[in-house]
Structure 1
């Protein structure tokens, strides 16, 4: 098992626990960073500072729809240069499902350079068959898939037994990992 070797500012003086992390690509200890609208230069700063610790960059809340196409492509390419998988959050996927344009959504995501997509139902309802269909469709389009279970509505609670069944089904259908909804606050939704 290969480990990362830190050459940080305190190298050889203080040994930090995270210096024993696995090198990329990791299968455990995965770190996903939510990008709420960083510009290209801020993204470069983030990459130079922390890329060794970041596995996924999630362009969240549908914000990738607000970027000029050229800038979005450049930002994604920059993250990929640092071995970081990039995906739009589930909001745009859910809008595409609602508007019945998922095929076009996947094509545009590929055109922009995204490497993963999120199949989620935080604001919509999907049957298990629909989840399977969208996970399969995304995989066929060449994407890695992060599935997400749970609702953004704090009054909707997750049924643990159904959640476990859905997690195993999503993984069996090709999802790389399954995320349990928690919003970025980690309060009042999903498992919280």
Structure 2
């Protein structure tokens, strides 16, 4: 962490490597130079990188990019849509080989774009958890598919029990499905009900929009796990977490 000045009443942040307070960044196709620039500017605030959906399939110099992240001590994983693309084609064993080929230590299991029996999904989580650290995504990318809160809780708990390290609350890169209404507004009742059963440190909330990030920070503190953060929003998000942007400025001053 860089603290160029001394200020009182700054919320305490967990330190890397951390179990919660995560910032998960979505790389949607950064170049090698952009990857290096991102690490130089924001590497200290990034906990894990997702190569969005199946962008890794068409990314040039993929191994070189992965090596750059690895040398910076930042774990990387392929987006869940790539997993789904292999599963729907009955190529799970090929997916395993891809993880081996690129020395991946994390993997995402999701079913946001395909219909997958939940017991079968949990079997994939269990199998992969014996090889890598698994993040599993709950929720659909279909805006018309509304999952009731009790079902979110059941799915999340089952996936944690199957071996997932953390569960991800679906929102897509636009932040307008799953946890959120089409307008981007948080389904607050859903989130609060989930939190009655699932520990907050076990959930990464996809929250690409600033208003969504502010809502979660105010609900769960500076050390909430947030995901699908764009590379150019990492530093702005950290200032939100620390009460150094107008949206959270008074909030932390009044609490510390």
Whether TM-score is above 0.5 comes out as yes
Q: Given the superposition, is the C-alpha separation of residues 13 and 152 from structure 1 closer, same or farther in structure 2, using an over 3 Å criterion?
A: same
Counterpart in 2 of 1:25? 17
Q: Secondary structure at the match of 1:121?
A: coil
Secondary structure of residue in 1 paired with 2:104: coil
Deviates more, 1:119-128 or 1:29-38: 119-128
**Which residue does the alignment assign to 1:12?**
5
C-alpha distance in 2 between matches for 1:16 and 1:122 = 41
For residues 73 and 10 of structure 2, what CA distance do their matches in structure 1 show? 22
From 39, 43, 54, the equivalent of 1:47 is 39
Q: 1:156 aligns with which of 140, 145, 160?
A: 145
1:81 paired residue among 41, 49, 71: 71
Following superposition of structure 1 onto structure 2, how do residues 90-105 of structure 1 map, counting pairs within 5 Å? 90-105=80-95
Between the aligned partners of 1:125 and 1:17, the Cα distance in structure 2 is 45
Other-structure match for 1:119: 109
Matches within 5 A, 1:162-181: 162-181=151-170
Q: CA deviation at 1:48?
A: 1.0
Which residue matches 2:178?
190
Q: Deviations over 1:107-158 (max 9, x none)?
A: 1122113221110001112222211211112122x21111001111100012
TM-score (norm 1): 0.87
- The number of equivalent residue pairs is 180
1:174 CA drift (Å): 1.0
For CA contacts below 8 A with separation 6 or more, give which structure has more relative contact order: 2
1:14 CA drift (Å): 4.8
Distance 2:126 2:137 in 1: 15
Q: Per the alignment, do residues 86 and 17 of structure 1 end up closer, same or farther by CA in structure 2, a change over 3 Å counting?
A: farther
Distance 2:10 2:79 in 1: 30
CA-based RMSD = 1.7
Residue 57 (1) aligns with residue 49 (2): yes
Which whole-Å CA distance do the structure 2 matches of 1:57 and 1:91 have between them?
A: 15
Cα deviation, 1:15-38, whole Å, max 9, x if unaligned, reads 6947x4222111111000000100
Give the 3-state SS of the residue equivalent to 1:118 in structure 2.
strand
The one-character-per-residue Cα deviations of 1:158-191 (angstroms, maximum 9, x if unpaired) are: 221111011111111111111111012212x102
Gaps of 5+ in 1: none
Could you list the runs of 5+ residues in structure 2 that have no partner in the other structure? 181-256
Runs of at least 4 residues of structure 1 off by over 2 A?
12-18
